[in-house]
Amino acid sequence: MTETASATPPSSPAPGAARHTPARRSVVKAAAVGAALVPLAAARPASAAGAAPANAAAAAFLHGVASGDPLPDGVLLWTRVTPSPEAVPGSGLGPAVQVTWTVAEDRNFTRVVAAGTVTADASGDHTVKADVRGLRPATDYWFRFTADGAVSPAGRARTAPAHDTAVDSLRLGVVSCSNYEAGYFSSYRHLAARTDLDAVLHLGDYIYEYASGDYAGRGKVLRPHVPSHEITTLADYRARHGRYKTDPDLQAMHAAVPVIAMWDDHEFANDAWSGGAQNHQPDTEGDWAARVSAAKQAYFEWMPVRPSVAGTTYRSLRFGRLADLSLLDLRSFRSQQSTIGNGDVDDPDRTITGRAQLDWLKKGLSASDAAWRLVGTSVMISPVAFGSVPAHLLGPLAELLGVPKEGLAVNVDQWDGYTDDRRELLTHLRDNAVRNTVFLTGDIHMAWANEVPLKAATYPDTPPVATEFVVTSVTSDNLDDILRVAPRTVSLVAESAVKSANRHVKYIDMDRHGFGVLDVTAERAQMDYYVLADRSDPASAASWSRGYRTLAGTQQVERADAPAR
């Protein structure tokens, strides 16, 4: 269940901070609640994945806490309570329970500034959301939940800077493609350990829909999915989200920093489009619209996401005068992917965004007065041709990039398959002198740094109109995994061939897993790429691999000598 409530502001609010009256029905007096919470014991840790509370008579918080979608005056809080042993995710069982949320200025909860109660029940899979408003801009807060004497872990949330505030820097963790069966979420642990992040941006494929073993890492299941079959129903999607939320590294990241999430196809089914998906068979898996409805309901129940347009994840957030962030939904409105060789990728009647979303994006980009315009796009917008990639590498690359194994230069699931939408958007950037646009991308389990040309055929004589940073996967298979060889043993040949045929591509890493950290100042936007030592090791180390940046006003990409400071 979701609650929207205003905070009880501190006694000396920051200049310009919103001051709202608490909702009488849901918000209790903060001082009284804070006093009542102090003596309570810390939350019991989650036991085995999906386990019921150790004390069958008590509620428990087995799936962690989270915050998301930070605003200057508020943040969205999330948890899931297990009120009884049978109330496992997706079961539809368990009693209703009153859950209290509390927000404080300190981790000991002695300076409580907001609190409220909400009823969690089986109709919402016992998930809880509180959309808290009335907080100070650019401020760290601590939050937690209680129910029937149980206390959740504490989480840290940070509000965004005020709308017109000059901001020195913005630092975002950036992740994508986290397949539970293929490895451990060490990337999340490393992001949780940092103290310098304003938020983490998750670009999609937060969960995967496949049956256990259908998409394992190098063909090996390191830890099985729940449920074990392919998920198609509301109960299935709830149970799969619940399984992911038992991961300790995922819980640590959500508790440490706000997460800004958008979906891609695997939150539904592989290569999803508005009327179906490659991995959906109506004769055996039912109506596509019903499956999508179930997937979206579970997503909004289980994720700290505030939809600005009903039923989608396209929305925008602002970080003072430094950056506007536009998040796209490239699954709900797109036309079906083109079949290879029929030439309709240029058809102006085909779309990846839908008309309303593309108009919204163009309007927002041209109206923005921020120094930088960041765009979260779940699939790559830069064009890619494959030139002289060796034949033995075309098959694995086809699997990752969605290109035909015969080597035709068409990537039908990405913007390459919807060239008219791309042309319209990039022309809009050029014609309206929209500068400093950076696309942030996941999906393809590789790291890239690209200059985005309006016309790839005439680049660099036709200058780029934007830049793009693509992050690799958290765990999902990449080139060396598909080939089952050691990293960097065969990919260097493919990377060289792709770069020679695509001069706007400045960097590719086809082999490693990890995460990105985007650091933005008025002068530049820099993506630092971090790689894991071993995704199959739950204690894997991570190290800085490369950094690439674009300087304000240039749309060009250059290598950075060190991580941003």
The string of pLDDT tens digits covering residues 219-258 is 899 999 999 999 999 999 999 999 999 999 999 999 999 9
Kindly state the tokens that stand for 352: 């990846």
On the question of pLDDT at 552 being above 50, the answer is: yes
The full set of domain ranges for the chain reads: 2-158, 170-560
State the maximum Cα–Cα separation within the chain, in Å, rounded to a whole number: 71
Mean pLDDT over each residue of the chain, to the nearest integer: 88
Q: Which residue has the higher pLDDT, 280 or 44?
A: 280
pLDDT at 542: 98
Amino acid at 253: M
Classify burial at 54, counting beta carbons within 10 Å of its beta carbon; exposed 0-12, middle 13-18, buried 19 or more.
exposed
pLDDT at 516: 98
pLDDT at 495: 87
pLDDT at 15: 28
Q: Which of 288-302, 408-422, 536-550 has the lowest mean pLDDT?
A: 408-422
* Residues 489-511, mean pLDDT to the nearest whole number: 89
On the question of pLDDT at 394 being above 80, the answer is: no
Nearest residue to 169 via CA among 559, 523, 547? 523
Nearest residue to 451 via CA among 550, 361, 385, 523? 550
* Residues 351-366, mean pLDDT to the nearest whole number: 98
* Residues 267-288, mean pLDDT to the nearest whole number: 97
Q: Which residue has the higher pLDDT, 74 or 1?
A: 74
* Residues 183-199, mean pLDDT to the nearest whole number: 98
Q: Which of 52-61, 215-224, 297-306, 356-365 has the lowest mean pLDDT?
A: 52-61
* Residues 6-13, mean pLDDT to the nearest whole number: 37
pLDDT at 3: 59
Q: CA separation (Å) from 554 to 74, 319, 465, 551? A: 34, 22, 9, 6
Confidence of residue 272 (pLDDT cuts 50, 70, 90): very high
- Judge contact between 475 and 217, C-beta under 8 A: yes
What is the share, in percent, of the chain residues with pLDDT greater than 70? 85
3-state secondary structure 121-170: CHHHCCEEEEEEECCCCCCEEEEEEEECCEECCCEEEECCCCCCCCCCCE
Could you give the strand order of the β-sheet that contains 542-551, starting from the edge strand earlier in sequence? 2-6, 127-133, 74-80, 65-71, 259-261, 199-202, 170-175, 514-520, 524-532, 542-551, 558-560
Confidence of residue 56 (pLDDT cuts 50, 70, 90): very low
49 Cα distance to chain centroid = 22
What are the phi and psi torsion angles at 466 (to 5°)?
-165, 175
pLDDT at 342: 58
pLDDT tens digits, one per residue of 111-132 = 999 999 999 999 999 999 999 9
* Residues 14-37, mean pLDDT to the nearest whole number: 31
CA 511 – CA 324 distance, rounded (Å) = 31
Q: Which residue has the higher pLDDT, 411 or 500?
A: 500
127-133 and 74-80 strand pairing:
antiparallel
pLDDT at 58: 79
**How long a stretch of residues is the chain?**
565
- What's the predicted TM-score (pTM) here? 0.89
Confidence of residue 4 (pLDDT cuts 50, 70, 90): low
Confidence of residue 389 (pLDDT cuts 50, 70, 90): low
- Judge contact between 67 and 176, C-beta under 8 A: no
Give the residue carrying structure tokens 């992001």: 191
pLDDT at 346: 86
pLDDT at 141: 98
pLDDT at 111: 98
What is the share, in percent, of the chain residues with pLDDT greater than 90? 76
pLDDT tens digits, one per residue of 81-112 = 999 999 999 999 999 999 999 999 999 999 99
Confidence of residue 528 (pLDDT cuts 50, 70, 90): very high
CA 500 – CA 384 distance, rounded (Å) = 11
CATH of 2-158, one of 3.40.50.1820, 2.60.40.380, 3.10.20.90, 1.10.1060.10: 2.60.40.380
pLDDT at 239: 98
pLDDT tens digits, one per residue of 134-152 = 999 999 999 999 999 999 9
How is domain 170-560 classified at the architecture level of CATH? 4-Layer Sandwich (3.60)
